Amino acid sequence: MLDSFQSRIIVILLLTISNSFMTFAWYSHLKVLPNTNIALVILISWLIAFLEYIFLIPATRIGITVFNIFQIKIIQEVITFAVFIPFAIFYLKESFRLNYLYAIICLLGSIYFIFK
Report CA 2 to chain centroid distance, whole Å: 24
Q: How far apart are CA 57 and CA 93, in angstroms?
A: 31
- The most distant pair of C-alpha atoms in the chain lies apart, rounded to whole Å, by 49
Assign residue 103 a region: left if phi > 0, alpha if psi is -120 to 50, beta otherwise? alpha
Q: What is the pLDDT of residue 111?
A: 84
Q: What is the pLDDT of residue 10?
A: 97
Counted domains in the chain: 1
Q: What is the pLDDT of residue 6?
A: 95
Q: What is the pLDDT of residue 115?
A: 86
Q: Which domain holds residue 85?
A: 4-115
- Of 78, 60, 77, which Cα lies nearest the Cα of 69? 60
pLDDT digit string (tens) for the chain, length 116 residues: 679 999 999 999 999 999 999 999 999 999 998 899 999 999 999 999 999 999 999 999 999 999 999 999 999 988 998 999 999 999 999 999 999 889 888 888 888 888 88
